[in-house]
Amino acid sequence: MALTHASAVLRRRNFRLLWIGETTNKLGTGVSSVVLPLIAVTTLEATPLQIGLLAAASWLPWLLLSLHVGAWVDRLPRRPVMVISDGVALLVFATVPLAAWAGVLSIAHLIAAAFLGGAAAMCFTTAYRAYVPSVVDSDALVAANTALQSGEQAAQITGRGLGGLLAHLLGPATSLLADVASFAVSATCLLRIGAREPHPGTRSSGTDLTREIREGLRFTASDPFLRALALFGAVGNLAYTALQTLLVLFLARDIGASAAAVGAVVAMTGVGGLLGAAFAAPIARRVGTARAVVLSAGCTAPFALLIPLTTPGPGLALAMLAVLMIGCGLVVATVIIISFRQAFCPPHLLGRVGAGTQLLNYGAVPVGTLATGALADAVGTRAALWAVAALFLLYGTILIATPLRHHRDLPA
């Protein structure tokens, strides 16, 4: 996989519009990642199990629909899929503050909004990752994904901190309007992109969708690198979403942190991600792409052990350090893995290979988040976080048992 410096990638109008749209989208998502659980905890007085249901709802579409969406993304122009996804998410999340103002918001409504918003996000992400090679050359993919991840992490930092602040000033439900506005900006930017997409393919309308899905799954399963990285991503996503499920609840209830303090701690994940995006390419050049993925997980995952040790006041620094390092390691691996997949996979299979990988990555998450919520209900949030830390240790070591341990670089 070629690694080049491409400092001029943001000077390209089409990529810049994609970057602005995606970054703004993630700014709103950063707000909602803090605000939705705060609405559940503070406004609706949700139980840990209900918090688990809320977290699971946003990931359930990956388990139920991702393979079919991946096949359709390979049949259709990808930009319109992204625009429609933004529009659906805008409408769905706008219902939450409206219901709150009317005094009829319930935990069931919040869970339904999370599910529908998660379905829109799944469609957007599947199309978006397959769309990037349409606006940049293959030798600029690492630079493009670095720029996108840097923007995403900077937006998450700002969004999570802003979410806590807006929730404190305006109330959690009203602050969700920032997420609603972000989808409008994202769709506007995408509509202004002038790049022509490659024709999605020459399949007839009668082509069997199931056969196309199997083709993408076979390609992933037959390659040892794609297979190992898919398993690695699945464990990492399960650990990270389990942490997300409990972190706001733990900080708000067990530690007694204010909404602003919760936002500040959660935002440190974005700070770590921003550092990871900045250092991904230099680390990969120095040690190799395969080794960079192995080391990024192995060196940062053990910091998860600090989270259940967190105490009020100055003790919040333990959680801040932990999520910063975890975010850094996750994004280093993500930049390299996505760039590898975009360069390695045939263009006509990108949507299906991405969806198949994401099914494995995200498919176990709904069950994991439900189990995490149930475990916290049974033994307490702090005790459940020790189990989450153990899952992070598995994530940090799992690649040692795969072919990546023998290679300096991933194949081109």
**Each residue's pLDDT tens digit, 240-255:** 888 988 898 899 888 9
Burial class (CB in 10 A: 0-12, 13-18, 19+), 169: exposed
For residue 206, what pLDDT is reported? 46
Question: What distance lies between CA 55 and its chain's CA centroid?
Answer: 13
For residue 326, what pLDDT is reported? 94
The CATH homologous superfamily to which domain 10-192+212-406 belongs is: MFS general substrate transporter like domains (1.20.1250.20)
Main-chain dihedrals φ then ψ at residue 4, nearest 5 degrees: -130, 155
Q: What is the pLDDT of residues 97-155, one digit of tens each?
A: 999 999 999 999 999 999 999 899 889 988 887 888 888 877 777 788 878 877 877 78
For residue 198, what pLDDT is reported? 64
For residue 201, what pLDDT is reported? 54
Q: Which SS3 state, helix, strand or coil, does residue 402 take?
A: coil
E strand or H helix at 412, and its extent? none
For residue 2, what pLDDT is reported? 45
| Structural Rg of the chain based on CA atoms | 20
Ramachandran quadrant class, 103 (left: phi over 0; alpha: psi -120 to 50; beta: rest): left
For residue 151, what pLDDT is reported? 81
Cα–Cα dist 255/252, whole Å: 6
Tokens of 136: 């940049």
Stronger pLDDT, 233 or 90, i.e. the higher one:
90
**Is the model's pTM score more than 0.75?**
no
Q: What is the pLDDT of residues 303-320, one digit of tens each?
A: 999 999 999 989 999 999
HSE at residue 15, side-chain half, CA atoms within 13 A, is 22
**Averaged pLDDT, 324-333:** 92
Cα-based distances in Å from 112 to 60, 92, 167: 11, 9, 21
For residue 355, what pLDDT is reported? 66
Stronger pLDDT, 395 or 370, i.e. the higher one:
395
Placement of tokens 């992400």 in the chain: 125
Q: Where are the domains of the chain?
A: 10-192+212-406
